[in-house]
Structure 1
Amino acid sequence: MTKISIFHDEPCELGEGPGFDPLTNTVWWFDILAGRLFEKPLAGGEARMHSLGQMASALAVVDKERQLVLTETGLFVRDRSTGHTMMHQPIEADNPATRSNDARVHPAGAFWVSTMGKKAEPSAGAVYWYREGELRKLYGNISIANSICFAPDGRAAYFADLALNIVWRVNTDPETGLPNGEPTEFLRNTGSGGFDGSVVDADGNLWNASWGGSRIDVFAPSGNRIRTIGLPIPQPTCPAFIGTDSASLVVTSAYAEMDEASRLAYPDAGKTFRIEIAGKGRLDPQVRI
């Protein structure tokens, strides 16, 4: 039986961007709309909250001392010990109508990041590739980019548009993380819930948080759904494997857009969950800046 527990009980309006740093044995996640970054030692202890002063949604590990944080104005290098941040790479910094959203590091050390309209305006977002000081726009006219993740060998990338409820797959160069073909449709959701954040395990299976669907769905590389894990909240947002053995999953959630009756019906909405899984996940690599 799958064991599900609350990893952190402070609710986030829009919890997102969870991840794990094996160099420090620390789990992190964001409350995007509040501009808050949380970190919690996996070995135990209290979570710490850091106010970032702007919306932020994802983080990549540079080394033991530094992180690369994706915000509404671009990529910032953050010093873990002091919390000091410095602009590293502007991304749509001159467009106050957009903010950052989903992101993940390719096995080649490239950071795929995304933007979207602050009011989810249609086609206002994009997906970018960043590595070693170079930024390239990969895909535009995306409303709500999600599910950015990669095959273990670095030869494929996945990304979704929640507004269309489609996940695409595209071949990528394992040495650079750049696409080397055109995206093709991998999944299309015609049922309940939408494709939010995803992560790929060591066997190439895609684990997706179903926004509005109260579940994590696991899809084989063929696209067949092979497992479903029900959750006690309606809006899970993103999963990430944690632990040096990557045998646990942390899942963020949100209470955004829920009315008072729904909040009462789902008192754990917005909290961060831990799921013990059977099998081996996969940790994200360090980003190359």
Structure 2
Amino acid sequence: MNFKSVLAKKRFELGEGPFYDAAARALYWVDIIAGEAWSLSLASGSTRTWSFDQPVSAVVPRQNDGLLVALADGLAFLDPETGGHTAFVAPEGKGSGNRSNEARVDPQGRFWLGTMQNNIGPAGEDLPITHSQGALYRVTPDGAVTRMEKNIGISNTLCWDEARGRLYFADTRAGVIYVYDWNGATGEIANRRVFASPHERGFPDGSALDVEGCLWNARWGGSCIIRYAPDGRIDRIIDVPVQQPTSCVFAGDDLKTLYVTSARAGLGEAANDFDGALLRASVDVAGQACTAFAG
């Protein structure tokens, strides 16, 4: 598969959270450490950046106009024109020792937020992760917050398979991808079990689902994406030219272009020319569409 860097020489410290807005033909993602949210117009190739005074782990469009961002200490509404933001809800708030990490919207428009022990210092330096104290939250459009999981090391991978009634969720620290029974109508989850065990090609980071129900999982430290069949079997391993791919999303008019975020953080002199790049490649299967936050 021929991956190309999308933004020439631009490299991100911790690129994450790609989201494709089909209506606007726009790709969104973040640089967590830099505290930046980004958008790319697939039509014009132009980009926009919004900066924050703290880490930001996700940016998604709202059905009621504007954007929703996951900041380190809670969720906020972002006005894309002015760059101003207003607090929405704080599932944990300040003082928990945690920060936001993985975040995505389910097919019904609810926002799901995974947290983890904060590992980013005030100057962007790396801090050790010593406890599995993160959690998973479900946020409804009216701002109601429900904790769905606890004792998570590093929250990652949030994907919903409507056809099979499943939620996929990973704990990178444990090296495991879990699958739950998921009720789309109520948003409830149950019956957690291991979907994919630790693998020698890196640790599970963010993922995307294709129309065949296969999970494309970016492997931190593994320089690849693993495509898992619905039964947990490894269908293929796709090499990528970065050491730390962080997540992926399907985009384009036919949803057959895979965008991959990556990180340069922690690599130092071992970083290659592509580490931290936003990558793009054509694929042979369409992905499932992203959903805007219903608030």
Shorter chain as denominator, the TM-score bin is over 0.9
- Please say if residues 107 and 177 of structure 1, whose CA atoms lie closer than 8 Å, have aligned partners that are also in contact: no
Equivalent position amino acid for 2:63 in 1: D
TM-score (norm 1): 0.94
Query: Cα deviations across residues 226-276 of structure 1 (Å, max 9, x unaligned)?
Result: 12211111000000111232111111000111131x12xx12100100111
- Structure 2 distance, partners of 1:194, 1:142, is 15
> Which residue of structure 1 aligns with residue 232 of structure 2?
223
> Which residue of structure 2 aligns with residue 5 of structure 1?
4
- Please say if residues 136 and 155 of structure 2, whose CA atoms lie closer than 8 Å, have aligned partners that are also in contact: yes
- Please say if residues 107 and 154 of structure 1, whose CA atoms lie closer than 8 Å, have aligned partners that are also in contact: no
Aligned pair in 2 of structure 1 residues 3, 190: CA closer, same or farther (>3 Å)? closer
1:139 counterpart = 2:155: no
- Structure 2 distance, partners of 1:83, 1:176, is 34
| 1:92 match: secondary structure | coil
- Structure 2 distance, partners of 1:121, 1:15, is 23
- Please say if residues 152 and 202 of structure 1, whose CA atoms lie closer than 8 Å, have aligned partners that are also in contact: no
Matches within 5 A, 1:213-252: 213-252=222-261
Equivalent position amino acid for 1:38 in 2: W
> Which residue of structure 1 aligns with residue 283 of structure 2?
277
Aligned pair in 2 of structure 1 residues 154, 176: CA closer, same or farther (>3 Å)? farther
| 2:12 match: secondary structure | coil
- Once the two structures are TM-superposed, the CA of residue 154 in structure 1 deviates from its matched residue by 7.0
Equivalent position amino acid for 1:49 in 2: T
Deviates more, 1:93-102 or 1:183-192: 93-102
1:203 counterpart = 2:209: no
Equivalent position amino acid for 1:230 in 2: D
- Once the two structures are TM-superposed, the CA of residue 202 in structure 1 deviates from its matched residue by 1.5
Equivalent position amino acid for 1:36 in 2: E
Matches within 5 A, 1:70-85: 70-85=70-85
1:267 counterpart = 2:267: no
- Once the two structures are TM-superposed, the CA of residue 64 in structure 1 deviates from its matched residue by 7.0
- Structure 2 distance, partners of 1:16, 1:128, is 19
Equivalent position amino acid for 1:156 in 2: R
Deviates more, 1:153-162 or 1:226-235: 153-162
Aligned pair in 2 of structure 1 residues 36, 96: CA closer, same or farther (>3 Å)? farther
Segments of 4+ moved more than 3 angstroms:
none
- Once the two structures are TM-superposed, the CA of residue 143 in structure 1 deviates from its matched residue by 0.9
Deviates more, 1:120-129 or 1:163-172: 120-129
- Structure 1 distance, partners of 2:71, 2:153, is 17
Over the matched positions of the two proteins, sequence identity in percent amounts to 33
> Which residue of structure 2 aligns with residue 287 of structure 1?
293
Equivalent position amino acid for 1:191 in 2: E
1:165 counterpart = 2:175: yes
- Structure 1 distance, partners of 2:199, 2:114, is 24
- Number of aligned pairs? 284
| 1:123 match: secondary structure | coil
- Once the two structures are TM-superposed, the CA of residue 65 in structure 1 deviates from its matched residue by 2.9
Deviates more, 1:230-239 or 1:187-196: 187-196
> Which residue of structure 2 aligns with residue 128 of structure 1?
137
Deviates more, 1:30-39 or 1:91-100: 91-100
> Which residue of structure 2 aligns with residue 190 of structure 1?
199
- Structure 2 distance, partners of 1:258, 1:211, is 12
| 2:101 match: secondary structure | strand
- Once the two structures are TM-superposed, the CA of residue 43 in structure 1 deviates from its matched residue by 1.5
Deviates more, 1:236-245 or 1:89-98: 89-98
> Which residue of structure 2 aligns with residue 87 of structure 1?
87
Query: Cα deviations across residues 175-225 of structure 1 (Å, max 9, x unaligned)?
Result: 13221x221111102313000001111111100001011011100100011
Query: Cα deviations across residues 58-94 of structure 1 (Å, max 9, x unaligned)?
Result: 1222137311111111111112222221111112212
Query: Cα deviations across residues 114-149 of structure 1 (Å, max 9, x unaligned)?
Result: 111122332121111111221101111111011111
Equivalent position amino acid for 1:167 in 2: I
1:36 counterpart = 2:42: no
- Please say if residues 158 and 207 of structure 2, whose CA atoms lie closer than 8 Å, have aligned partners that are also in contact: yes
> Which residue of structure 1 aligns with residue 124 of structure 2?
none
Equivalent position amino acid for 1:269 in 2: D
TM-score (norm 2): 0.92
Matches within 5 A, 1:40-51: 40-51=40-51
- Once the two structures are TM-superposed, the CA of residue 10 in structure 1 deviates from its matched residue by 1.1
